Amino acid sequence: MKRSFLLSAIAMLLFTAASAQQGPIDAQATPETKALYKNLKTLSKKHTLFGHQHATEYGHGWFGEENRSDVKSVTGSHPAVIGVDFSGLSGLPEAEIEKNKAALKKNIVDTYNRGGVTTVAWHFSNPVAKGGFYWVDSLSLPAVKYIIPGGKAHEQYKKILDNVAGLVKDLKGKDGKQVPIIFRPYHEFDGEWFWWGKPHCTTEEFKTLWRFTVSYLKDSANVHNILYAFSPDNKFNTEAEFLERYPGDEWVDMVGMDNYGDMGRDNRYNLEAAVQKLTIVSDYAKKTGKLAAFTETGLESIPNTNWWNDVLLKVMKRNNMELSYVLVWRNDTKSPTHYYAPFPGHPSVPDFMKFYKDPYTLFEKDLKNIYK
């Protein structure tokens, strides 16, 4: 009798602990941020939101037109998730930073007012050396060790985070509420191409950077409308490899993966590998109560006109994965080849329309009260 009672009590405690994890890591997260988390978690059981980077800022052959996106021109709806970037918030003259802040604010607030979701990448220019956000052997310095606590550029990093915090706290919708964002800093950290990449900092340095960044924004700057997304590239094959630089469940709201290499880049398709890796991400989110997402993918120029259904949808629909969203990369304004979503007249439009109409995919028009 006592043993049975004890086992029941332990089961209840475990259930309560698991239930407690079903929400943002920020205990003071705004009601809208908590609602976004909960609704993304619920929707991911049967659907995935479609996202496009810089979708409403510019597209194939155009720039800066009000309420326009290439996806909307094709389908009649914006993507459900709009990707933007904090790249313009540091390393520039103050006037330019303020201009960038204003443009970002308008884009993010407009998306919220329409009922869509914003995810933010950070192509962060090296704060202690030239070379931009990419690692350049002759120019770059391994900045992570300089900007974490104890590093000589730590105070400078805090000022950069103050710029981020000021913008995010100032995001107010027409309903007067703070707009939630999904913030995805230091992505593809398992590669070598960014200054925060694996060869340029130790595992502990990276974890320290992540934890300090989250803690500073959440606890020091009192920003409570952010969900934090962790997304390596596709260089892992096991859960242990996926988690090698993971800072801990208390520091992450969403786990994701960027994967172009298995999805047709350079005409290389390895869909079984893509499924295996994405399943690791989804399974980890399920067992920890986190959100999961396919944080970046795509096929440049979309030469495979059936890519949307024969590749992307086929991968995501395997193994009962629960993915909050999938995001494809940007459509450059001037380049004739650098684009990842169709535009009117592109040969993949018929297949994309089939993808759009599939009940599994959600676009902005499909979202109802995702912040409530």
- For residue 57, which of 69, 47, 45 has the smallest C-alpha distance? 69
Determine contact, residues 192/303, Cβ cutoff 8 Å.
Answer: no
Cα-to-chain-centroid distance, residue 78: 17
Phi, psi of 296 (to 5 degrees): -155, 135
Q: Catalytic residue numbers?
A: 188, 296
Determine contact, residues 256/281, Cβ cutoff 8 Å.
Answer: yes
Determine contact, residues 165/103, Cβ cutoff 8 Å.
Answer: no
Cα gap 291→33, rounded to integer Å: 13
Return the structure tokens found at 231.
């997304």
Q: Residue 3: exposed, middle, or buried by beta-carbon count in 10 A (0-12, 13-18, 19+)?
A: exposed
